Amino acid sequence: MLVVPARRGPASLRALMSQAKSAPGTLSYGSAGNGSSGHLASELFKDAAAINVLHVPYKGGAPAITDLLGERLSFMNINPLEVLSHLRAGTLKALAVASEHRTPLLPDVPTMREQGLPGFTATVWWGLVAPAGTPPAVVERLNQAANKALADPAVRQQLSQVGVTISAGTPAAFGDFIRSETATWAAVIRKANVRAD
């Protein structure tokens, strides 16, 4: 999600984009470092919104959040779990979620798609993988066990409380998803000339 300082940050994503367009290069965003998910999501946002903003890489998310709270940064794209306590305390404000749909964790926060960036998606995800060459029967057995665990109501409730959206499925579908994500982020990396530290 994209967050800003609550006290003096813009009121909406459209206001942030308008501010960035009216004063190119004056707004800054922080990330946990070059090549981090927040850095890549922000580069995708820059491109989608056609804005020019400055990237300030940190050595980890905590110091970047500290500077955002201190209003030394304009915004951050970050995993909601990392800033949930600040959102609840009213020191940061969420302008948009970068997922396809609103998150049940913060249902009043609109998506970037809803605010004029059609097709925009940048999410943090986790998956279960096995070494190349693992026999298909073993992969299938692992997949069935993972899907069974994810279908358990207690597991679903625990994960939903921390904002996780569950997407169980097949190994083939997950492979397609990984290939799609790889193509998306490779294009972002090339266009923005991102280099990891």
Banded model confidence at residue 196, pLDDT cuts 50, 70, 90: confident
* Phi–psi pair at 15, nearest 5 degrees: -65, -40
- Output the pLDDT for position 81: 87
CATH of domain 2-123+183-192: 3.40.190.10
**50 torsion bin: left (phi>0), alpha (psi -120 to 50), beta (else):** left
Q: What is the mean pLDDT of residues 25-47?
A: 96
Report whether pLDDT(54) > 90: yes
| Of residues 113, 95, 99, 122, the one with CA closest to residue 39 | 122
Percentage of the chain exceeding pLDDT 90? 91
- Output the pLDDT for position 160: 86
Decide: helix, strand or coil at residue 77.
strand
State which amino acid sits at residue 193: N
Report whether pLDDT(128) > 90: yes
Identify whether the C-beta of residue 14 lies closer than 8 Å to the C-beta of residue 22.
no
Helix 136-151 to helix 153-160 angle (10° resolution) is 70
Q: What is the mean pLDDT of residues 69-77?
A: 97
- What residue spans define the domains of the chain? 2-123+183-192, 136-179
| Cβ neighbour number for residue 142 with a 10 Å cutoff | 15
**CB burial class (10 A; 0-12, 13-18, 19+) of residue 14?**
middle
Residues 95-117: pLDDT tens digits?
999 999 999 889 999 999 999 99
Planar angle of CA 104, 109, 115, nearest 5 degrees: 130
Identify whether the C-beta of residue 113 lies closer than 8 Å to the C-beta of residue 13.
no
Q: What is the mean pLDDT of residues 161-166?
A: 85
Q: What is the pTM of this model?
A: 0.90
Please identify which residue in the block is written with the tokens 């305390």.
89
- Output the pLDDT for position 56: 97
| Of residues 63, 97, 69, 101, the one with CA closest to residue 81 | 97
Mean of pLDDT over the chain: 95
Non-local (6+) Cβ contacts of 96 within 8 A are 1, 2, 13, 109, 110, 111, 112, 114, 115
